[in-house]
Structure 1
Amino acid sequence: MREGYEGTGPGAITPDGCAVELYTRLSVGNEPDVIEAAVPAGAHILELGCGAGRVTRPLLERGFRVTAVDESAEMLEKVAELDGGVRTVRSPIEQLDLDEKFSVVMLASFLVHNGDTAVRRRMLRACRNHVTDQGCVLIQREGADYHTNLPRERVDPGGYTTRIVSATPVGDGVNEVRAEYIFPDAVWTQTFRARPLDREQFEAALAEAGLKVDKYLTEDGIWVRAVPAE
């Protein structure tokens, strides 16, 4: 387990504290709608950090081709079971080096807020290295009050409760975030480290990787379409 990352609950836990069984149960929200509206129909999407395929499945159902990347073999086993011929690649995002480019690269799940600046830089550089010059990178950011509106909880239509319990400063602008997922038959927790980024900081991080904002796709600024700046 990485320092500052921990997960508890039934089943396998990945090095960043994600419980595989939990991720097979989580509901999909508006992500597929946002993605579909932002990219060409039937595009080949490189999904970085696909987890157990929560978003992968609806993308396949909507006619997209997906190459799904994750560092967890257990997560990728779940993705490989999906209908639609998804291709899976096991690799940490920051170490990905495929000899090909994609019209759409996706970095969701707030991964751009990784607490380790060096890891974030390599993740964004991986995005730039794998997108075509005319393509785009879709990035999911944290909401403006993600680290301050605490504790908070949301009851999901799927019948479980998601609770963000705390975000404790651990130095260098990084918070240790604790989340709980309460199902009728099981409870999981996840602790991870995240770095808040305002728009200026976010756009500076993109520029450092050779990317720039093309459009903020949602009013809250959580979903962004970036394009190569070079």
Structure 2
Amino acid sequence: MRAGHQATGPGAITPDGCAVELYSRLPVGTEPDVIASAVPAGAHILELGCGVGRVTHPLLERGFTVTAVDESPAMLERVSGARTICSPIEDLDLGEQFDVVMLGSFLVHAGDVEVRQALLRACVRHVAPAGCVLIQREGEDWHNDVPRERVDPSGFTVRIVSSEPAGDGAHSVHAEYEFPDATWTQTFLSRPLAREQFEEILTEAGLKVDRYLTDDRTWVRAVPAA
């Protein structure tokens, strides 16, 4: 388990505290539509942190080619139809470049600054000169509007119970997912990034914002700065 991360609940748990069975149950949101609207039809997408393929599978259905990367073999067992690679994102070096590199799941908010920098270096390493990097950010008040809960139409409740300072600018976030037949908890480190901070770290990594893809600016299209 990565430092600062822990989880409870049935089934396999990944090193960053993600429960495989939980993520297999979570419905896909608007992500595939947002992604499809920002990239060329039929693009080859490198999906970093694909999990069980919640977004992978809808992208395949839309005609994209996907190379799906995750550090958890148990997660990758749930992915079908895509080329899969088991590796920590920070260490990934395929010697290939892609039309699109995708860093979802708020991974850019990694609590460890060195990990975040390595994640962005992996994006830059693999994006084609004329390609783009799609990054998912936390909402502007994500750490302030706590506690909060949302009842999903499919019948489960997700709660962000707390977000407490954990030192050096990172927060320890505790979440709960309650289903009729099972409950999972997850605690993880997250580093809040205001818009200006986010754009600054992209510049440091050799990227620049092309445009924000959603009104709440949680999805971003970035391109190589050169």
User: Which interval holds the TM-score relative to the shorter structure?
Assistant: over 0.9
Report how far residue 126 of structure 1 moved: 0.5
Alignment of 1:1-230 (within 5 A): 1-79=1-79, 82=80, 85-230=81-226
Give the number of equivalent residue pairs. Answer: 226
Tell me the alpha carbon deviations over residues 179-202 of structure 1, each in whole angstroms, 9 at most, x when there is no partner.
100001000001000000011110
SS at match of 1:154: strand
Tell me the alpha carbon deviations over residues 119-173 of structure 1, each in whole angstroms, 9 at most, x when there is no partner.
0001001001100000000000000111010111111122111110000111111
Q: Which sits farther off after the overlay, 185-194 or 156-165?
A: 156-165
Q: What is the one-letter code of the residue matched to 2:61?
A: E
Aligned-partner Cα distance in 2 for 1:158–1:102 = 35
Q: What is the one-letter code of the residue matched to 2:101?
A: V
Aligned-partner Cα distance in 2 for 1:25–1:40 = 29
Report sequence identity in percent.
72
Aligned-partner Cα distance in 2 for 1:50–1:120 = 17
Report how far residue 205 of structure 1 moved: 0.7
Aligned-partner Cα distance in 2 for 1:91–1:205 = 24
SS at match of 2:18: coil
SS at match of 2:120: helix
SS at match of 1:78: coil
Report how far residue 13 of structure 1 moved: 0.3
Q: Calculate the TM-score normalised by the size of structure 2.
A: 0.99
SS at match of 1:124: helix
Aligned-partner Cα distance in 1 for 2:154–2:138 = 22
Aligned-partner Cα distance in 2 for 1:14–1:111 = 15
Contiguous gaps of at least 5 residues in structure 1:
none
Q: What is the one-letter code of the residue matched to 2:72?
A: S
SS at match of 1:179: strand
SS at match of 1:115: coil
Report how far residue 115 of structure 1 moved: 0.3
Aligned-partner Cα distance in 2 for 1:135–1:158 = 36
Contiguous gaps of at least 5 residues in structure 2:
none
Q: What is the one-letter code of the residue matched to 1:71?
A: E
Q: Calculate the TM-score normalised by the size of structure 1.
A: 0.97
